[in-house]
Chains A and B, each alone.
Chain A
């Protein structure tokens, strides 16, 4: 499975790569929305892990673009952010996020479990 992580914090991405690679996921890291869109165009990911605060276009804007494009609309996107305001969570879910995870509330093991749940739901749909 091919996972695209869109996150600009180096320490967090190092930890995510380490943990997800152990699960045999193929992980790519994009540090902003522009690079994320480029990577999506090059190779369609099975799932996107998306931070909300990014340099340039933020995660909300990127999520909206992914959903508006028929080629990418069905890619499941899990938001992984420390933004935890009720309105932000509702906004991301209304834009079509598959789940909203608050970084400081989860261990990486917990995040992997959530990824597996979303991927298994996606396979059921196919």
Chain B
């Protein structure tokens, strides 16, 4: 099968999967929001677990769709965007997981808002994948540091955590499609291995660079830069 039809197949399959997953989500939420009658604490716990598993599946399917779309036709819409606001909105969107894991998020940014010429939803997806990973792989009660700074005509974004880190022998592969570290797979079976691949593609398509420093069982720090001015 050539590349384009394969991407089409992934897009169609992933899209088809979203209908039953949406139905499951609606049903689980009806129970969780008390709209389907009273549950015992045990039943509620089971529904919560079902809902969490379903959300993992939705997120997996979204990763497939995003990666396929980026390969097929990224269709970036370059506009002036407030990057500072975008970073704050990602943190707000991760609020439930951050609070559940009692993670302390330290955000360091210049007082004036930073603007970027970029495709907002794509750059948001790249930064969100890095912040999401930091939250996901950090132990409960730990700290995540997010920093945005201007370096000449570059904007540098970084996020560091005290999580599981990346085993040294697998660090070369971390941005490869479908790759997941041994320690990440042991910790959680589901995961697309597409988040960092997607982030790298988006950042490089914007003329930027992405890299990381990591020590297994100590934590990771991911960085990216994007040129702040139009070429």
Report which A residues bind B (CB closer than 8 A). 9, 11-12, 15, 19, 22, 53, 82-87, 103-104, 107-109
Contacts and interface: CB of A to CB of B under 8 A. Distances in A.
B19 interface: yes
Interface of B: 15, 18-23, 25-27, 29-30, 33, 35, 58, 61-62, 65, 69, 75, 77, 121
A12 B23 contact: yes
11 contacts: A9-B23, A12-B23, A15-B26, A15-B30, A82-B15, A103-B18, A104-B22, A104-B58, A104-B61, A104-B62, A107-B25
B186 to A, nearest CB: 28
Contacts of B26: 12, 15, 19, 107-108
A9 B20 CA distance: 9
B52 to A, nearest CB: 14
Contacts of A83: 15
Given A84-B62, A104-B62, 20 more contacts: A9-B19, A11-B20, A11-B23, A12-B19, A12-B26, A15-B23, A15-B30, A19-B30, A53-B15, A82-B18, A82-B19, A84-B65, A86-B77, A87-B75, A104-B18, A104-B22, A107-B29, A108-B30, A109-B29, A109-B35
A86 B121 contact: yes
A82 B35 contact: no
Contacts of A107: 25-26, 29-30, 33
B109 to A, nearest CB: 26
B135 to A, nearest CB: 19
If over half of A's interface residues share one DSSP class (helix, strand or loop), that class is named, otherwise mixed; here it is helix
A85 B35 CA distance: 31
Contacts of A104: 18, 21-22, 25, 58, 61-62
B77 to A, nearest CB: 7
Given A9-B19, A103-B19, A109 B121 contact: no
Contacts of A9: 19, 23
A86 B18 CA distance: 17
- The 3 tightest CB contacts between A and B, nearest first, are A107-B29, A103-B22, A82-B18
Nearest to A83: B15
B15 A108 contact: no
A4 B121 CA distance: 31
A108 B26 CA distance: 6
Contacts of A15: 23, 26-27, 30
B33 A109 contact: yes
A15 B36 CA distance: 11
B206 to A, nearest CB: 15
A108 B61 CA distance: 20
Contacts of A11: 20, 23
Nearest to B30: A108
Contacts of A12: 19, 22-23, 26
A107 B26 CA distance: 5
Nearest to B119: A86
Contacts of A22: 35
B75 A108 contact: no
B155 to A, nearest CB: 22
A9 B17 CA distance: 13
A21 to B, nearest CB: 12
A53 B58 CA distance: 19
